[in-house]
Structure 1
Amino acid sequence: MAQKPYHGDGPDDWLRFVPVASAYALKACGVESASSWKRLAINTATSYVLSCGTTWALKHAIHERRPDGTDNRAFPSGHATVAFAGAAILDKEFRHVSPWISVGGYAVATGVAVDRLVRNRHEWHDVVAGAAIGVGGTWLGYWLGDKITGKSSRYQVGFDGNCVSLAVKL
Protein backbone atom coordinates (compact mmCIF):
# COMPACT_ATOMS: atom_id res chain seq x y z
CA MET A 1 0.00 0.00 0.00
CA ALA A 2 1.42 3.40 -0.97
CA GLN A 3 1.97 5.89 1.80
CA LYS A 4 0.14 9.19 1.65
CA PRO A 5 2.36 12.23 2.10
CA TYR A 6 2.72 14.10 5.38
CA HIS A 7 0.42 17.13 5.40
CA GLY A 8 2.43 19.28 7.80
CA ASP A 9 1.54 20.72 11.15
CA GLY A 10 -1.96 21.97 11.64
CA PRO A 11 -4.43 23.37 14.14
CA ASP A 12 -4.29 20.13 16.11
CA ASP A 13 -0.89 21.21 17.48
CA TRP A 14 -2.42 24.04 19.53
CA LEU A 15 -6.08 22.98 19.69
CA ARG A 16 -5.13 20.00 21.87
CA PHE A 17 -4.48 22.46 24.73
CA VAL A 18 -7.75 24.41 24.37
CA PRO A 19 -9.91 22.22 26.68
CA VAL A 20 -7.55 22.36 29.68
CA ALA A 21 -6.74 26.03 29.03
CA SER A 22 -10.49 26.69 28.99
CA ALA A 23 -10.86 25.10 32.42
CA TYR A 24 -8.23 27.41 33.87
CA ALA A 25 -9.59 30.45 31.99
CA LEU A 26 -13.14 29.83 33.24
CA LYS A 27 -11.89 29.47 36.81
CA ALA A 28 -9.77 32.62 36.50
CA CYS A 29 -12.81 34.51 35.23
CA GLY A 30 -14.74 33.53 38.36
CA VAL A 31 -16.93 30.73 37.02
CA GLU A 32 -17.60 28.32 39.89
CA SER A 33 -15.64 25.12 39.38
CA ALA A 34 -15.87 21.87 41.31
CA SER A 35 -12.37 22.37 42.75
CA SER A 36 -10.19 24.84 44.59
CA TRP A 37 -7.11 26.08 42.74
CA LYS A 38 -4.96 23.64 44.70
CA ARG A 39 -7.19 20.65 43.91
CA LEU A 40 -7.44 21.67 40.25
CA ALA A 41 -3.66 21.97 39.93
CA ILE A 42 -2.94 18.65 41.66
CA ASN A 43 -5.65 16.75 39.79
CA THR A 44 -4.58 18.25 36.45
CA ALA A 45 -0.94 17.36 37.06
CA THR A 46 -1.81 13.84 38.22
CA SER A 47 -4.14 13.33 35.25
CA TYR A 48 -1.56 14.44 32.70
CA VAL A 49 1.28 12.47 34.29
CA LEU A 50 -0.81 9.29 34.15
CA SER A 51 -2.26 9.91 30.67
CA CYS A 52 0.84 11.18 28.93
CA GLY A 53 3.11 8.74 30.74
CA THR A 54 0.96 5.83 29.57
CA THR A 55 0.89 7.15 26.01
CA TRP A 56 4.66 7.70 25.97
CA ALA A 57 5.31 4.19 27.31
CA LEU A 58 3.01 2.59 24.74
CA LYS A 59 4.52 4.58 21.86
CA HIS A 60 7.98 3.34 22.84
CA ALA A 61 6.85 -0.25 23.40
CA ILE A 62 4.61 -0.82 20.37
CA HIS A 63 6.47 0.94 17.51
CA GLU A 64 3.52 1.27 15.12
CA ARG A 65 4.42 3.05 11.88
CA ARG A 66 2.51 6.24 11.06
CA PRO A 67 0.36 6.17 7.92
CA ASP A 68 2.56 8.88 6.37
CA GLY A 69 5.69 6.83 7.14
CA THR A 70 7.48 9.57 9.09
CA ASP A 71 8.20 7.47 12.20
CA ASN A 72 7.10 4.47 14.24
CA ARG A 73 5.41 6.27 17.16
CA ALA A 74 1.81 6.25 15.94
CA PHE A 75 0.08 4.23 18.65
CA PRO A 76 -1.55 5.76 20.63
CA SER A 77 -2.14 9.35 19.55
CA GLY A 78 -0.50 11.77 21.97
CA HIS A 79 -2.50 14.69 20.57
CA ALA A 80 -5.76 12.84 21.26
CA THR A 81 -4.54 11.89 24.74
CA VAL A 82 -3.78 15.52 25.66
CA ALA A 83 -7.00 16.86 24.12
CA PHE A 84 -9.30 14.30 25.73
CA ALA A 85 -7.57 14.55 29.11
CA GLY A 86 -8.23 18.30 28.98
CA ALA A 87 -11.83 17.75 27.92
CA ALA A 88 -12.36 15.34 30.83
CA ILE A 89 -10.88 17.91 33.25
CA LEU A 90 -13.17 20.60 31.81
CA ASP A 91 -16.11 18.22 32.19
CA LYS A 92 -15.28 17.32 35.81
CA GLU A 93 -14.84 20.96 36.79
CA PHE A 94 -17.72 22.68 34.95
CA ARG A 95 -20.42 20.16 34.02
CA HIS A 96 -22.46 21.42 36.98
CA VAL A 97 -22.46 24.92 35.46
CA SER A 98 -23.63 23.79 32.01
CA PRO A 99 -23.40 20.51 30.12
CA TRP A 100 -22.58 22.59 27.04
CA ILE A 101 -19.18 23.40 28.49
CA SER A 102 -18.45 19.68 28.51
CA VAL A 103 -19.84 19.27 25.00
CA GLY A 104 -17.58 22.07 23.80
CA GLY A 105 -14.50 20.50 25.36
CA TYR A 106 -15.20 17.08 23.89
CA ALA A 107 -16.05 18.66 20.50
CA VAL A 108 -12.65 20.36 20.38
CA ALA A 109 -10.93 17.12 21.42
CA THR A 110 -12.83 15.22 18.71
CA GLY A 111 -11.76 17.87 16.20
CA VAL A 112 -8.13 17.29 17.19
CA ALA A 113 -8.55 13.53 16.70
CA VAL A 114 -10.20 14.00 13.30
CA ASP A 115 -7.46 16.40 12.21
CA ARG A 116 -4.85 13.76 13.11
CA LEU A 117 -6.65 11.36 10.76
CA VAL A 118 -7.06 13.92 7.97
CA ARG A 119 -3.38 14.92 8.19
CA ASN A 120 -2.50 11.23 7.80
CA ARG A 121 -0.63 11.09 11.10
CA HIS A 122 -2.79 8.33 12.61
CA GLU A 123 -5.26 5.55 11.93
CA TRP A 124 -8.61 5.59 13.72
CA HIS A 125 -7.52 3.06 16.37
CA ASP A 126 -4.59 5.32 17.35
CA VAL A 127 -6.85 8.28 18.14
CA VAL A 128 -9.51 6.14 19.86
CA ALA A 129 -6.83 4.64 22.11
CA GLY A 130 -5.40 8.11 22.81
CA ALA A 131 -8.88 9.41 23.69
CA ALA A 132 -9.54 6.48 26.03
CA ILE A 133 -6.17 6.92 27.74
CA GLY A 134 -6.78 10.66 28.17
CA VAL A 135 -10.23 10.22 29.71
CA GLY A 136 -9.26 7.19 31.79
CA GLY A 137 -6.08 8.87 33.01
CA THR A 138 -8.10 11.89 34.09
CA TRP A 139 -10.63 9.80 36.00
CA LEU A 140 -7.79 7.97 37.74
CA GLY A 141 -5.89 11.24 38.24
CA TYR A 142 -8.86 12.84 39.99
CA TRP A 143 -9.30 9.78 42.18
CA LEU A 144 -5.62 9.79 43.19
CA GLY A 145 -5.51 13.57 43.48
CA ASP A 146 -8.49 13.51 45.81
CA LYS A 147 -6.71 10.94 47.97
CA ILE A 148 -3.96 13.54 48.37
CA THR A 149 -6.10 16.68 48.77
CA GLY A 150 -9.40 15.39 50.23
CA LYS A 151 -10.74 16.55 53.59
CA SER A 152 -9.92 13.26 55.34
CA SER A 153 -6.60 12.87 53.55
CA ARG A 154 -3.48 11.89 55.45
CA TYR A 155 -1.49 13.89 52.92
CA GLN A 156 -0.89 17.63 52.64
CA VAL A 157 0.63 19.26 49.59
CA GLY A 158 2.25 22.68 49.78
CA PHE A 159 3.62 25.11 47.19
CA ASP A 160 6.07 27.88 48.05
CA GLY A 161 7.26 29.21 44.71
CA ASN A 162 10.44 27.16 44.69
CA CYS A 163 9.22 23.67 45.45
CA VAL A 164 6.30 21.38 46.02
CA SER A 165 6.27 19.51 49.32
CA LEU A 166 4.24 16.48 50.43
CA ALA A 167 3.61 15.77 54.14
CA VAL A 168 2.16 12.47 55.34
CA LYS A 169 0.19 12.43 58.59
CA LEU A 170 1.03 9.22 60.48
Structure 2
Amino acid sequence: MIYKKFAFFIIILLSLVSSAQTIDLTNTADSLLIKSKPQIQFRAKQLIVPVALITYGIIGIGNDQLESFNNQIKEEVKENIDKKVSIDDFSQYLPLASVYGLSAIGIKGKNNFRDKTIIVATSYLIMGIALNSLKRTFKVERPDGSAFNSFPSGHTATAFMGAELVYQEYKDVSIWYGISGYLVATGTGAFRLYNNRHWLTDVVAGAGIGILSAKAAYWLYPSIKRLLDSKKQTNKKTAFIPYYDGKRVGFGLVSTF
Protein backbone atom coordinates (compact mmCIF):
# COMPACT_ATOMS: atom_id res chain seq x y z
CA MET A 1 0.00 0.00 0.00
CA ILE A 2 2.79 2.40 0.89
CA TYR A 3 4.41 1.87 -2.49
CA LYS A 4 1.17 2.70 -4.27
CA LYS A 5 0.98 6.00 -2.41
CA PHE A 6 4.59 6.79 -3.25
CA ALA A 7 3.87 6.03 -6.90
CA PHE A 8 0.77 8.21 -6.77
CA PHE A 9 2.77 11.05 -5.23
CA ILE A 10 5.47 10.79 -7.90
CA ILE A 11 2.93 10.75 -10.74
CA ILE A 12 1.08 13.80 -9.41
CA LEU A 13 4.25 15.79 -8.75
CA LEU A 14 5.73 14.99 -12.14
CA SER A 15 2.46 15.91 -13.82
CA LEU A 16 2.50 19.32 -12.17
CA VAL A 17 6.12 19.91 -13.08
CA SER A 18 5.53 18.72 -16.64
CA SER A 19 2.81 21.33 -16.93
CA ALA A 20 5.36 23.98 -15.99
CA GLN A 21 7.78 22.70 -18.60
CA THR A 22 5.05 22.75 -21.25
CA ILE A 23 4.38 26.39 -20.43
CA ASP A 24 8.05 27.22 -20.90
CA LEU A 25 8.28 25.19 -24.10
CA THR A 26 5.97 27.65 -25.83
CA ASN A 27 8.96 29.97 -25.94
CA THR A 28 11.65 27.40 -26.69
CA ALA A 29 11.42 27.80 -30.46
CA ASP A 30 11.94 31.52 -30.14
CA SER A 31 14.92 31.01 -27.87
CA LEU A 32 16.49 28.73 -30.48
CA LEU A 33 16.12 31.39 -33.15
CA ILE A 34 17.00 34.44 -31.05
CA LYS A 35 20.37 33.76 -29.50
CA SER A 36 20.78 37.37 -28.40
CA LYS A 37 18.25 36.87 -25.57
CA PRO A 38 19.58 33.91 -23.57
CA GLN A 39 17.90 34.79 -20.27
CA ILE A 40 14.33 33.84 -19.48
CA GLN A 41 11.94 36.69 -18.89
CA PHE A 42 9.30 36.95 -16.19
CA ARG A 43 5.85 35.74 -17.19
CA ALA A 44 3.05 35.45 -14.67
CA LYS A 45 1.99 32.01 -15.94
CA GLN A 46 5.39 30.62 -14.91
CA LEU A 47 4.27 31.16 -11.30
CA ILE A 48 1.30 28.81 -11.57
CA VAL A 49 2.94 25.49 -10.72
CA PRO A 50 5.45 26.57 -8.01
CA VAL A 51 2.88 28.80 -6.29
CA ALA A 52 0.31 25.99 -6.42
CA LEU A 53 2.78 23.59 -4.80
CA ILE A 54 3.72 26.05 -2.06
CA THR A 55 0.07 26.91 -1.43
CA TYR A 56 -0.82 23.24 -1.10
CA GLY A 57 1.88 22.81 1.53
CA ILE A 58 0.83 25.84 3.56
CA ILE A 59 -2.87 24.96 3.42
CA GLY A 60 -2.04 21.42 4.47
CA ILE A 61 -0.67 22.61 7.81
CA GLY A 62 -4.10 23.56 9.08
CA ASN A 63 -6.32 21.37 6.93
CA ASP A 64 -7.78 18.29 8.64
CA GLN A 65 -8.11 16.28 5.44
CA LEU A 66 -4.56 16.92 4.26
CA GLU A 67 -3.16 16.37 7.74
CA SER A 68 -5.03 13.06 7.84
CA PHE A 69 -3.40 12.06 4.55
CA ASN A 70 -0.01 13.06 6.01
CA ASN A 71 -0.63 10.83 9.03
CA GLN A 72 -1.73 7.91 6.87
CA ILE A 73 1.56 8.03 5.01
CA LYS A 74 3.46 8.28 8.30
CA GLU A 75 1.71 5.23 9.76
CA GLU A 76 2.32 3.13 6.68
CA VAL A 77 5.97 4.15 6.64
CA LYS A 78 6.31 2.99 10.25
CA GLU A 79 4.54 -0.29 9.55
CA ASN A 80 6.17 -1.27 6.28
CA ILE A 81 9.69 0.13 6.30
CA ASP A 82 12.34 -1.29 8.61
CA LYS A 83 15.50 0.30 7.24
CA LYS A 84 16.07 3.90 6.24
CA VAL A 85 18.01 4.81 3.10
CA SER A 86 20.22 7.92 3.21
CA ILE A 87 20.46 8.34 -0.56
CA ASP A 88 18.42 11.55 -0.34
CA ASP A 89 21.30 13.24 1.48
CA PHE A 90 23.29 12.90 -1.74
CA SER A 91 20.64 12.89 -4.46
CA GLN A 92 19.51 16.38 -3.47
CA TYR A 93 22.74 17.75 -4.96
CA LEU A 94 22.84 15.67 -8.16
CA PRO A 95 20.76 18.01 -10.35
CA LEU A 96 22.82 21.01 -9.23
CA ALA A 97 26.07 19.14 -9.85
CA SER A 98 24.79 18.39 -13.36
CA VAL A 99 24.63 22.12 -14.12
CA TYR A 100 28.43 22.14 -14.04
CA GLY A 101 29.01 18.48 -14.90
CA LEU A 102 27.37 18.71 -18.31
CA SER A 103 29.55 21.71 -19.17
CA ALA A 104 32.62 19.81 -18.00
CA ILE A 105 31.99 17.05 -20.54
CA GLY A 106 31.56 19.54 -23.38
CA ILE A 107 27.79 20.11 -23.46
CA LYS A 108 27.31 23.85 -23.82
CA GLY A 109 24.53 25.40 -21.79
CA LYS A 110 22.86 28.79 -21.94
CA ASN A 111 25.42 30.62 -19.77
CA ASN A 112 29.15 30.51 -19.14
CA PHE A 113 30.69 29.40 -15.84
CA ARG A 114 30.66 32.87 -14.28
CA ASP A 115 27.05 33.59 -15.18
CA LYS A 116 25.87 30.17 -14.06
CA THR A 117 27.65 30.55 -10.75
CA ILE A 118 26.00 33.90 -10.07
CA ILE A 119 22.60 32.44 -10.96
CA VAL A 120 23.19 29.42 -8.71
CA ALA A 121 24.28 31.66 -5.82
CA THR A 122 21.22 33.86 -6.29
CA SER A 123 18.98 30.78 -6.31
CA TYR A 124 20.54 29.49 -3.11
CA LEU A 125 20.13 32.86 -1.42
CA ILE A 126 16.46 33.12 -2.33
CA MET A 127 15.80 29.52 -1.38
CA GLY A 128 17.67 29.79 1.91
CA ILE A 129 15.76 32.90 2.98
CA ALA A 130 12.43 31.29 2.08
CA LEU A 131 13.18 27.99 3.82
CA ASN A 132 14.50 29.51 7.05
CA SER A 133 11.65 32.01 7.24
CA LEU A 134 8.98 29.34 6.81
CA LYS A 135 10.65 26.86 9.16
CA ARG A 136 10.86 29.48 11.91
CA THR A 137 7.34 30.70 11.28
CA PHE A 138 5.44 27.41 11.22
CA LYS A 139 7.67 25.20 13.44
CA VAL A 140 6.08 21.95 12.24
CA GLU A 141 7.21 18.81 14.02
CA ARG A 142 8.89 16.17 11.89
CA PRO A 143 7.09 12.82 11.47
CA ASP A 144 9.85 11.09 13.46
CA GLY A 145 9.58 13.68 16.26
CA SER A 146 13.22 14.71 15.97
CA ALA A 147 12.71 18.48 15.55
CA PHE A 148 10.21 21.25 14.86
CA ASN A 149 11.58 22.36 11.48
CA SER A 150 9.82 19.96 9.15
CA PHE A 151 8.04 22.47 6.90
CA PRO A 152 9.17 22.87 4.17
CA SER A 153 11.62 20.19 3.03
CA GLY A 154 15.08 21.63 2.42
CA HIS A 155 16.35 18.50 0.67
CA THR A 156 13.45 18.58 -1.77
CA ALA A 157 13.83 22.32 -2.37
CA THR A 158 17.54 21.90 -3.14
CA ALA A 159 16.85 19.05 -5.55
CA PHE A 160 14.09 20.87 -7.43
CA MET A 161 16.08 24.09 -7.56
CA GLY A 162 18.89 22.14 -9.25
CA ALA A 163 16.43 20.45 -11.59
CA GLU A 164 15.01 23.78 -12.73
CA LEU A 165 18.53 25.16 -13.23
CA VAL A 166 19.43 22.16 -15.39
CA TYR A 167 16.24 22.59 -17.37
CA GLN A 168 16.79 26.29 -18.00
CA GLU A 169 20.45 25.86 -18.91
CA TYR A 170 20.11 22.88 -21.24
CA LYS A 171 16.53 22.78 -22.55
CA ASP A 172 17.70 24.21 -25.89
CA VAL A 173 20.15 21.31 -26.20
CA SER A 174 17.75 18.59 -25.06
CA ILE A 175 14.70 18.74 -22.83
CA TRP A 176 15.65 15.31 -21.47
CA TYR A 177 18.39 16.82 -19.33
CA GLY A 178 15.76 18.79 -17.47
CA ILE A 179 13.39 15.84 -17.24
CA SER A 180 16.18 13.69 -15.80
CA GLY A 181 16.87 16.35 -13.20
CA TYR A 182 13.21 16.44 -12.22
CA LEU A 183 13.10 12.64 -11.92
CA VAL A 184 16.02 12.74 -9.48
CA ALA A 185 14.40 15.61 -7.58
CA THR A 186 11.09 13.75 -7.32
CA GLY A 187 12.93 10.66 -6.08
CA THR A 188 14.62 12.80 -3.42
CA GLY A 189 11.23 14.01 -2.21
CA ALA A 190 9.89 10.45 -2.14
CA PHE A 191 12.84 9.30 -0.03
CA ARG A 192 12.18 12.10 2.46
CA LEU A 193 8.79 10.46 2.99
CA TYR A 194 10.30 6.98 2.92
CA ASN A 195 12.75 7.91 5.69
CA ASN A 196 9.95 9.44 7.78
CA ARG A 197 11.70 12.82 7.82
CA HIS A 198 8.96 14.87 6.20
CA TRP A 199 5.24 15.08 5.64
CA LEU A 200 3.85 15.09 2.11
CA THR A 201 2.95 18.78 2.49
CA ASP A 202 6.60 19.56 3.40
CA VAL A 203 7.86 17.84 0.27
CA VAL A 204 5.34 19.42 -2.09
CA ALA A 205 6.02 22.92 -0.72
CA GLY A 206 9.78 22.32 -0.89
CA ALA A 207 9.47 21.41 -4.57
CA GLY A 208 7.61 24.66 -5.25
CA ILE A 209 10.17 26.75 -3.38
CA GLY A 210 13.06 25.14 -5.25
CA ILE A 211 11.50 25.72 -8.67
CA LEU A 212 10.49 29.29 -7.86
CA SER A 213 13.94 30.15 -6.43
CA ALA A 214 15.66 29.05 -9.64
CA LYS A 215 13.20 30.89 -11.86
CA ALA A 216 13.52 34.05 -9.78
CA ALA A 217 17.32 33.91 -10.08
CA TYR A 218 17.05 33.92 -13.88
CA TRP A 219 14.56 36.77 -13.78
CA LEU A 220 16.86 38.82 -11.56
CA TYR A 221 20.11 38.01 -13.32
CA PRO A 222 19.94 40.68 -16.09
CA SER A 223 19.74 43.35 -13.37
CA ILE A 224 22.56 41.74 -11.38
CA LYS A 225 24.68 41.47 -14.53
CA ARG A 226 24.18 45.16 -15.34
CA LEU A 227 25.17 46.08 -11.79
CA LEU A 228 28.33 43.95 -11.92
CA ASP A 229 29.30 45.24 -15.37
CA SER A 230 28.80 48.86 -14.32
CA LYS A 231 31.22 48.35 -11.44
CA LYS A 232 33.78 46.96 -13.86
CA GLN A 233 33.52 50.04 -16.05
CA THR A 234 34.30 52.56 -13.31
CA ASN A 235 37.56 54.51 -13.54
CA LYS A 236 38.55 53.79 -9.99
CA LYS A 237 42.07 52.37 -9.75
CA THR A 238 43.81 51.15 -6.62
CA ALA A 239 47.45 50.16 -6.15
CA PHE A 240 49.74 49.10 -3.31
CA ILE A 241 53.12 50.86 -3.45
CA PRO A 242 56.02 49.66 -1.28
CA TYR A 243 58.17 52.26 0.47
CA TYR A 244 61.30 52.48 2.62
CA ASP A 245 62.26 55.69 4.50
CA GLY A 246 65.58 54.48 5.87
CA LYS A 247 64.07 53.08 9.03
CA ARG A 248 60.79 51.42 8.14
CA VAL A 249 59.54 49.22 5.34
CA GLY A 250 55.86 49.28 4.44
CA PHE A 251 53.20 49.66 1.79
CA GLY A 252 51.14 52.65 0.76
CA LEU A 253 47.64 52.54 -0.69
CA VAL A 254 47.05 54.85 -3.67
CA SER A 255 43.53 55.17 -5.12
CA THR A 256 42.31 57.31 -8.05
CA PHE A 257 38.74 58.14 -8.97
The residue type equivalent to 2:91 in the other structure is: L
The residue type equivalent to 1:156 in the other structure is: L
Gaps in structure 1 of 5+ consecutive residues: 158-165
Q: Which has the higher contact order (CA 8 A, sep 6+)?
A: 1
Q: Decide which of 231, 238, 247 is 1:167's aligned counterpart.
A: 231
C-alpha separation in 2, matches of 1:101 and 1:117: 25
Q: Do the aligned residues in 1 keep the contact of 2:120 with 2:217 (CA within 8 Å)? A: yes
Which has the larger helix fraction?
Answer: 2
Give the CA deviation at 1:25.
0.6
**What is the TM-score when the length of structure 2 is the normalising length?**
0.57
The residue type equivalent to 2:166 in the other structure is: L
Q: How many residues are treated as equivalent by the alignment?
A: 158
Q: Decide which of 217, 221, 230 is 1:145's aligned counterpart.
A: 221
Q: Do the aligned residues in 1 keep the contact of 2:85 with 2:191 (CA within 8 Å)? A: no
C-alpha separation in 2, matches of 1:37 and 1:19: 16
Give the CA deviation at 1:7.
5.7
Q: Do the aligned residues in 1 keep the contact of 2:84 with 2:194 (CA within 8 Å)? A: no
Give the CA deviation at 1:42.
0.4
Give the CA deviation at 1:111.
0.2
**What is the TM-score when the length of structure 1 is the normalising length?**
0.85
Aligned to 1:18: 94
Q: Decide which of 156, 160, 167 is 2:228's aligned counterpart.
A: 156
Q: Do the aligned residues in 2 keep the contact of 1:63 with 1:75 (CA within 8 Å)? A: yes
Q: Deviations over 1:15-65 (max 9, x none)?
A: 000001011010122211001111101000001110122111111111000
Q: Answer with 1 or 2: which has the greater Rg.
A: 2
Aligned to 2:135: 59
Aligned to 2:153: 77
Percentage identity across aligned positions? 36
Q: Give the RMSD, CA atoms, in angstroms.
A: 2.3
Give the alignment of 1:11-160 within 5 angstroms.
Answer: 11-149=87-225, 153=226, 155-156=227-228
Moved over 6 A (4+): none
Cα distance 1:145–1:87, how it changes in 2: closer, same or farther (>3 A)?
Answer: same
